Structure 1
Amino acid sequence: MRIGIVGAGAVGSFFGALLEQGGHQLTFLARGKHLEAMIKRGLIIKREDETITVHGTFTDDLKQLGNTDLILFCVKSNDTEHMAKKLLPILQKDSIVMTMQNGVDNEEKLEQIFGAERTFSCATYVQAVKEKAGIVKQHGRVSLVIGELERTTSEQCSQIVTLFQLAGIDAKHTSNILEKKWRKFLWNVTFNSLSAISTAAVGHILDDGPLRKTAEKVCEEAMEVAIRLGISIDSQQIKETIFKNAERAREHQTSMLQDRLSGKQMEVESMCGYVMRKAEEFDIAVPTIQAFYSILTHLNRTMIKSSQRTK
C-alpha cells in the first residue's frame, strides 16, 4: 500500500518506519533539520533491542502525496485545518485519512474537510522522542486502537488494523473510537499541561506531593466535562487507571514538554482550550485547567516573539 506520513515527527516517523519494513511504500512529509538528516542518512529508529534504518521517500513537497492510498495524519493539532485543506485537492478521491494526533477535536475538523467516510481515528499509545534530527528513540509498550467515524466503513477500518498487525504492531479495532480517544485524552490533559509548565517528567509529578495533587485536580475537572459530553466513564476507575498507567511512563517527557524544550508551539488549544470551552458551554468550573491555559498561552506567545527576534 502507498502510505503518506503527514507530520513525520517522533510518532509519525516511528510508525512509518515499521510500515516501511512491513513492505509498504512510504512517503514521509517533514521539514527542517529532521528532513535534511533523513534525506542524507535515512530514518533511524532506536528501540530497546534493535536499531532500524529505513530509506523511504522524504520530502517537504505535498504534491508527492498525490498517489497515496492512506494518510497517517500526525501534525500538531494547531495545524490540523490548515494542513487538511492543503491536502484535500492533492489527494485522490478514494484516499483515506487517519488521525494519530493528541486531543479529541481533530476528528470533527477532518470530517468536515474530507467527509466521515474517508476519515478514521487512532488512539496511539507509544513513548517516542526525536533524539536528534533523523533519529527517533522509542521505548515501552506500543499499542493502537483504531476506529471509524462512519459505521458503513467498519470493514475498511478492519483492513487498516490488519495492515498494522502484519507490520508487527499491536493494533485493535473499536466501534467507539471517540470514547477510546477521550480515555487517552484524559491522561494527556492530566500530565501534558502540568509537565509543560513545570518541566517535570511524569515520574517527578507522581513523586512530588503538590504536583500530584494538582494533576489529580486537572483529571477531575476534565472528567466532569467528559461526563457532561456523554462519554461513558467511571470517574474513580478511570482516575486510578490514569495514574497506574503513569507509573509505567515515569521517565516519559510528554509531547507538550518536548515542544516547549524544543522552542515549538505547544498544543494548548487542543488540550486545555478545548476542555475550557466545553466547560463554559455546560457552566462547569475548571479553575485549574483555566489557569494552565492562561500560562501556556503566554508561553506560546513568548516563544513566537523569541523566534521572530532571532530571524
Structure 2
Amino acid sequence: MKIGVIGAGAVGGYFGSILQKSGNEVVFLARGKNLEAMKSMGLTVEGENGSFTVQGKFTDRYEDLSDSDLLLFCVKSTDTYKTALRVKPFLKDGSFILTLQNGVDNEAILSTVFEKEKIFSAASYIQVFSKEPGVVRQIGNSPRLVMGGVEESQETAIKEISTFLNLAGIETFTTKNITETKWKKLLWNVTFNPITALLETSVGEVLDNPELKNTAEQICRESINVAKAMGVTLGNSACDEILAQGALARNHQTSMLQDKLRGKKMEVESICGFIVKKGREYNVSTPVLETLYHLLKFQDSRIGSTFSEVAT
C-alpha cells in the first residue's frame, strides 16, 4: 500500500517508519532541518528494543502525495484546515485519510474539505518525541491505536485499515464510538499538558506536588462536565482513571511542552480553548482551565510565528 504522512514529526515519523519498514511505500511530508536530515541520512527511530533507520521519500511537495492510498494526517491541530486545503487538489479518488491528531474537532474540520466517507480517526497512545532532526525516540509501553469512522457506513473500511495496520506491526483496535475514545485522550491531554507546558515540568512532578495535582484534578473534572453537557458518555471514575494513567507516564514530556521548548506554537486552542469555549456555549464553568488557557495563550503569542503548516 502507498502511504502519505503529512507532518513527519514525532508521531507521524514513528508510525510512518513502521509502515515503511514493513514493506510499504511511504512518502513523508516535512520541512526545514528535519527534512534536510531525513533526505541525507533517512529517518531513525530509537526505541526500547533498539533502533532502525528507514529510507523513504522525503519531500515538502504536496503533489508527491498524489498516489497515496492512505494518508496519515499528523499536523498540529492549529493547521488542520489550511493543510487540508493544500493537499486536497492532489489526492486521488479512493484515498483514505486517517487523523492521528490531538483534540476532538479535527474530524469536523476535515469534513468541511473532504467527503466524510474518506475520513477516519484514531487515538494514538504513544510516548514519542523528536530527539533531533531525522531522529524520533519512543519510550514506555508499546504504541497502539484505537480507530473508528465518522460515518456508520465505514465499518468495512475500518476493518480493512485496522487489519492492514496490525499486519504492518502497529497494534490497532477498533471502536464504534471514536468520539468517546478521542474525548478520553483529550481529557488526559488537558489534565497534564497545560500545567506541564506552563511550568516546564514533568507529569510526575505534577502528581508529586499536592497543589499541582489538585489543580490537574480540577481541570479534569471541569472538562468532564463540559463533555457530559455535550452528550459524551463518560464513566463516574473517568477522572481517577486519567490520574492513574498519568502515573504510568511520569517522565513523559507532553506534546505542548515539547512544542514550547522547541520554539513552536502550542496546541492551546485544540487542547484547552475548545473545552473553554464549549463550556461557555453549554453554560458550564471552567475557571481553572480558563485561567491556564489565557496564560498559555499569552506565552504562545510570544513564540515566533514563522513555522509552516507542516508539523515537524
- TM-score, length-normalised on structure 1? 0.96
Q: Which amino acid aligns with 1:301?
A: S
Partner of 2:224: 223
Identity level (%):
43
What corresponds to 1:158 in structure 2?
159
Q: Are 1:121 and 2:142 matched, yes or no?
A: no
Deviations 1:11-68 (A, max 9, x none): 0000001011111100000011111111000000000111110000000011100111
Asked if 1:7 corresponds to 2:45, the answer is no
> CA offsets per residue over residues 49-103 of structure 1, 9 Å max, x none?
1111000000001110011111000000000000001111110121111100000
Does 2:271 correspond to 1:257?
no
Aligned equivalent of 1:89: 89
Corresponding position of 1:112: 112
Aligned to 2:146: 145
- Kindly state the Cα deviation for residue 304 of structure 1 after the two structures are TM-superposed: 2.8
Q: Matched residues in 2 for 1:35 and 1:305: separation?
A: 19
Q: State how far apart, in whole Å, the 1-side matches of 2:74 and 2:3 are.
A: 13
* Structure 2 unmatched runs, 5+: 308-312
Equivalent residue number for residue 284 of structure 1: 284
C-alpha distance in structure 1 between counterparts of 2:104 and 2:217, whole Å: 20
Matches within 5 A, 1:25-174: 25-141=25-141, 142-174=143-175
- The residue number in structure 1 matching 2:204 is 203
Q: Which has the higher contact order (CA 8 A, sep 6+)?
A: 2
Secondary structure of the 2:145 match is strand
Letter of the 1:180 counterpart: T
Cα distance in 2 between the residues matched to 1:305 and 1:239: 35
Moved over 3 A (4+): none
Deviation at 1:132, TM superposition (A): 0.5
Amino acid at match of 1:253: Q
Report SS of the residue matched to 2:302: helix
- Distance (Å, rounded) in 2 between the aligned partners of 1:161 and 1:50: 25
Which amino acid counterpart does residue 172 of structure 1 have in structure 2? F
Q: Report if the CA contact (8 A) 2:47-2:139 is conserved.
A: yes
* Distance in 2, Cα, partners of 1:8 & 1:42: 12
Cα distance in 1 for residues equivalent to 2:159 and 2:299: 41
Confirm or deny: 8 A CA contact 2:265 2:305 kept in the other structure.
no
**Deviation for aligned residue 1:306:** 9.9
Amino acid at match of 1:169: I
| Cα deviation, residue 179, structure 1 | 0.7
Deviation digits for residues 216-238 of structure 1, max 9, x if unmatched?
A: 01001000000011111123x11
Contact 2:102-2:186 at 8 Å conserved across structures: yes
Cα distance in 2, alignment partners of residues 99 and 151 from structure 1: 17
- Counterpart code for 1:119: I
Q: Secondary structure at the match of 2:169?
A: coil
Give the deviation of 1:305 after TM superposition.
7.0
* Post-superposition offset of 1:187: 0.5
Map of 1:176 onto structure 2: 177
RMSD in angstroms over aligned alpha carbons? 1.1
Which whole-Å CA distance do the structure 1 matches of 2:235 and 2:67 have between them?
44
CA displacement 1:130-183 (0-9 Å, x = unmatched) = 011101000122110010111111111111111110112211011111110001
Q: Secondary structure at the match of 1:275?
A: helix
Match of 1:214 in 2: 215
Instruction: Return the offset for 1:276.
Output: 0.8
1:243 aligns with 2:237: no
> TM-score normalized by structure 2?
0.96
Q: 1:29 to 1:305 in 2, by over 3 A?
A: closer
Distance 2:304 2:264 in 1: 9
Could you tell me how far apart the structure 2 residues matched to 1:111 and 1:21 are?
31
Give the SS at the match of 2:201: coil
Amino acid at match of 2:157: Q
Q: Distance in 2 between matches of 1:304 and 1:137?
A: 25
1:24 aligns with 2:24: yes
Q: Quick one: distance in 2 between partners of 1:17 and 1:187?
A: 26
Other structure's SS at 2:5 match: strand
- The verdict on how the C-alpha distance between 1:305 and 1:132 changes in structure 2, with shifts beyond 3 A counting, is closer
Equivalent residue, structure 2, for 1:275: 275
